[in-house]
Amino acid sequence: MKTRRRRPARPERRGLEVILHAESSADPQREALGTVLAIATLSLFGVALLFMALGPHRIGDYGTETDFYGSYAEGARQIQRGVLDPSRYGVVGPIYELALAGAGLLARDLFLAAELLSAAAAVATLLLWFVLLRRRHGAWIGLFAIAFMATNPTLFHYGYSASTDALALALQAGALCLLFATSGPRTAALAGLVAALAFLTRYTAVTLLPAGLIATLARGRARGDGGRKQALAFAAGFLAPVGIWIAYSLASGTGFAFQLHHNLAFEVYARPRGIPWDAYQRDLQPGFHSLWDVIARDPAAVAWRLLVNCGAHLAEDARLLLGWPVAAAVTAGLVLGAWSGALRRACPLAATGVLCFLSFVPVFYSDRYSLALLPFYAALAAYAFASPRFAFAVTRRSPAKRGRGIPLKTVLALVPLALSLAASVRLQRMVLTQQPTEALDAGRVLRALAHPGERVIARKPQVAYLGGIEALPFPFAESLQELAAYARVHKARWLFYGWPEVEARPWYRHLIDTTGAVPGLTVRYARMWTWRPGVLYEIGPAFGERPSWYDDSLLVALHDTRVRLLERPGDADLLALAGVIELDRGLVRDATEHLERAADRRPTDPHVLLPLGQALLQSGDPRRASIAFTRAEQVSPGNLEARLGRGWASLLAGQREEAASLWRPVIGLTRDAITLERMAALYQELGDDSAAAVARAARRRLGP
């Protein structure tokens, strides 16, 4: 029998060297350092969220946070009064409103309570994922994972928003932490209970049920006991609160119904055709009563949309949720985890991530929805940098110090983290600029003027909430008469028209321009000519009468153009059109402003320069008018209007000889009576009788 010869040990290299580390047991000191850094990360994250909630985030946006003003706040108030109405929960469950009602007992302002609830839930999410990953893979993977989560722009945004997202994410994290970081039937039952709470917060968390069963059965198979007892305990923990809720719903006569099939219907039959959500609700939603209705209408279209969404959602996660640098880190972690076998050992947790991804495939993409996937992505990115495989490190000369240097991967992790943090700062700045502060100001005015029980018509409920009265949806009516009839039927005293109304009900856009008076509407608050306009009207008995200026096509065009400029403030065509109409109507100051802005964008366009010169003449600025007319004549040689304008500018500036010289070649060409009369007078004053005679003859040819 041959004996295998040992290879001689290679001599140790001296000096600094790069060492390829193999996976080894964790260093207790290094693990303790990772835990300390994780606590510091959590603390900084929590402080930053509190700063946003208590400081610059003053009002919820017109997107996600609309649900707070239109639904969650009222539901929380009802719960505080002892009323829990199951009919409210067709899209989301009751847990968020129950939690909000509890938080509202500590903070009187429900909006502030919602912000603080989200901040606490976001911090809890990071803490729970750190505990889970530290117990299974070490503190440094947990540290890197929560670092990628803390610097994520979307998570930070919804960490201070008045929405269900942060709470749902925290409950999901709690269920997974109990599932994967602990063992035993009791903790499995508790995990099932928390998973049920997550489901009753956001129904898409139903994926936690199969994920929990897979995890408990896989753990039992590895131990040789089958895991049935833990699986049953988990299922019992999940079904107990869900069963109680269903029984309560049935007993109340409401029943337990999902409305999420409308998300799939909108994604398949509306969004690809450019149909907005409002129009879907009006025209298509009544035809879909269940998921089967959605599928049965066109099974092929549904299947194709699901297939397309798989790839599209992954790409959008990389672009929007993560950002390309972090997405590259996730890809590296996925490859490294598959190659090292770490992904196989974490198969139940990975399966949970896959199920979670598939639950969002049927609906339109939103980085907000994909937040539930962020911890799984972050764990992969963390493995790329925290795994000891390929952890190149610079070490000291001493063999005893080998492997104790700082891994270069740790330093490289700062690059995607810094880029993600910078992206987060940019997003939060944008979010703050998007705050509907016009609704905040209008709400204050409304609260001072309105009486309890009154109603305000508005597409978004922020103004009604802040004003302390009831919100009335903005109807699909397409005329003032129909809108007035709707207001009378529903006894609405107030009307708010802002940017959401401009976008969805554009046929009323002239209401933003309060210079066009509408009978029966009295302006109580107005913020115009900004990119976030809003007008609060008090409705009177005359509302519905046709405004007299409706018969003046130029005025109608002017009001429409002014509002369109709010959407496209740099559009030279709109600026010029507004300026020309305003000049025609004697609105010289407004005309000058719009025409100057148009000339900045089209400095060689005579169709802009000529009316600008006229506006400057009428505003008493002949010097600048002369510049505009001269430039117009330079780009359009022989232009009669430009030459006449230059003459008028010189005359008004007191330069009579120069005006006479400019006008002399065009005396017989102009057909403007006023100009000809002024020419004749000027030449008579200067003693030029022949020119004066030509001007008078030209004037006589025009007739009276």
Residue 402 has pLDDT above 60, yes or no: no
Residue 557 has pLDDT above 70, yes or no: yes
* Count of other CB atoms within 10 angstroms of residue 397: 13
Residue 224 has pLDDT above 70, yes or no: no
Interval 333-343: pLDDT, tens: 999 988 888 88
Using a pLDDT cut of 70, give the percent of the chain over it. Answer: 91
Query: What residues does 527 pair with on adjacent strands?
Result: 534
* Count of other CB atoms within 10 angstroms of residue 557: 13
* Residue linked to tokens 């049927």: 362
Can you give the pLDDT at residue 253?
A: 74
Contact 540, 522 (CB under 8 A): yes
Q: What is the mean pLDDT of residues 623-632?
A: 94
Can you give the pLDDT at residue 223?
A: 66
Can you give the pLDDT at residue 64?
A: 93
Using a pLDDT cut of 90, give the percent of the chain over it. Answer: 62
Residue 577 has pLDDT above 80, yes or no: yes
Dihedral sign, Cα of residue 489, residue 492, residue 493, residue 495:
negative
Residue 393, H or E segment: strand 393-394
Which of 278-287, 289-298, 464-473 holds the top average pLDDT? 464-473
- Of the listed ranges 36-50, 159-173, 403-417, 561-575, the least confidently predicted one is 403-417
Interval 142-157: pLDDT, tens: 999 999 999 999 999 9
Interval 183-216: pLDDT, tens: 888 999 999 999 999 999 998 899 999 989 988 8
Cα–chain center distance at 699? 63
- Of the listed ranges 225-234, 390-399, 619-628, 648-657, the least confidently predicted one is 390-399
Q: What is the mean pLDDT of residues 391-402?
A: 51
Q: Indicate the pLDDT class of residue 15, thresholds 50, 70 and 90.
A: very low
Can you give the pLDDT at residue 8?
A: 47
Can you give the pLDDT at residue 11?
A: 41
- Of the listed ranges 133-147, 289-303, 602-616, the least confidently predicted one is 289-303
All CATH 1.25.40.10 domain ranges in the chain, comma separated: 570-652
State the Cα torsion 142-148-150-152 to the nearest 10°. -150
For the chain, give the mean pLDDT: 88
Domain 570-652: CATH class, spelled out: mainly alpha
Q: Which among 637, 687, 636, 688 is positioned nearest to 667, based on CA atoms?
A: 688
Can you give the pLDDT at residue 404?
A: 53
Residue 21 has pLDDT above 60, yes or no: no
Residues 6+ positions from 418 with CB-CB distance below 8 Å? none
